[in-house]
Amino acid sequence: MQSDQTSFMHEDVGLLTMSDQNRIFLFLSCLLLVCSIGASTARADCAALVKQFDEAFSNRSLPQVTDLEAKIAKDGSCSEPDIRRTRLSKAKLQFDVVKGLVKKGAAQSEYEGLLVAASDLLWEAAVLIGNEKSKQRDFVEATIAYERAIELVKNPSVTTAPPDKKMIRAIFDSAAESRMLAANEEGRSGRATYVPAAKDHRDGSIGGTMSVDIRGVTPTSVPIPIAFETATARFSANGEKAAKEFLLALQQQSPAQITLVGHTDERGEADYNMRLSDERVKVVAAFLKQNGITARITTIAKGKTEPFKPTDASQFSREDIWAMNRRVEWKRQ
């Protein structure tokens, strides 16, 4: 049986004459040539689009830049670096247009859409949104914008040259301030909101103001927006959310030791505030231990002896300052 199958196979192969084999070879060669020509043509088409884009960018024509960037993004022959570069260039032009409109005193409605679009890729645009929202006392949106700015700074694929360390610290401070003010249980708006820290752009872990490193800057004092019920050491609903986020950050980052410092605002007697800050910071430490944190935890009570120093006290009310004073700080070693 095996010899019959072998004979059949040899006979089947023999059905292809030399002429047939030559024709098949010629057909496959032509097919490869057509594919090669098609790929080269597609690359040439993409190169032409990129050239047009660069010319439009040089001419500062935002409508053309926007149209060509969309075409490049949809063109299957364009490479990922081409798509990324043109997206970033478009965002830079959008931000330049915004700055021009702001300088002319244009209404925010005239540039807000462009600014939001640019803030997807430019930390400068995200910071400007944060500043605008903070002035409007929309601390939730301000926090979201500042947190996004931190992650954009951390991402070298969109921020190749990071801002200087002084600017990075200023962004961090603004994010921390607005995050505490958004969580203010005693705010005049009556709408205290827990705003989570941004997710790390690389792996989705907790980033933003909770980041271990921001392009060479390590935040050594991190205010955690853990709110308590008035005059007690009981977590508020939002305070519990913040405590759980802090717990998760510690689980992800695994510090060898943890130092927590409790603070209160200036109201009340010094002894009372010292006791209250001590009780609160110990409640946070107990929560962490009960949930599996085994690192050595040191707690320090400061009461009202070390008030918070905001970046610009003139833009905040007395109640805002009190809210920022009522804090638990994580001191990194």
d(C-alpha 258, C-alpha 330), whole Å? 7
Query: Looking at residues 278-294, what average pLDDT do you find?
Result: 98
Q: What confidence category does residue 186 fall into, taking pLDDT thresholds of 50, 70 and 90?
A: confident
Across 114-118, 126-130, 185-189, 201-205, least confident range: 185-189
- pTM for the full model? 0.85
On the question of pLDDT at 42 being above 50, the answer is: yes
What pLDDT does 39 receive? 47
What pLDDT does 18 receive? 64
Query: Looking at residues 143-160, what average pLDDT do you find?
Result: 97
What pLDDT does 36 receive? 47
Look over the chain and give the mean of its residue pLDDT values, rounded to a whole number.
90
On the question of pLDDT at 305 being above 70, the answer is: yes
Are the C-beta atoms of residues 212 and 255 closer than 8 Å to each other? no
Across 27-36, 121-130, 236-245, 323-332, least confident range: 27-36
- Report the alpha-carbon angle 262-264-270, nearest 5: 105
Are the C-beta atoms of residues 125 and 95 closer than 8 Å to each other? yes
Query: What percent of the chain is modeled with pLDDT above 90?
Result: 82
Hey, what are 142's tokens? 């301000």
What pLDDT does 62 receive? 97
d(C-alpha 189, C-alpha 138), whole Å? 10
Query: Looking at residues 41-52, what average pLDDT do you find?
Result: 82
How many CB atoms neighbour CB 135 within 10 A? 10
On the question of pLDDT at 27 being above 90, the answer is: no
Query: Looking at residues 224-240, what average pLDDT do you find?
Result: 93
Most confident region among 47-51, 122-126, 224-228 by mean pLDDT? 122-126
Across 23-32, 86-95, 139-148, 220-229, least confident range: 23-32
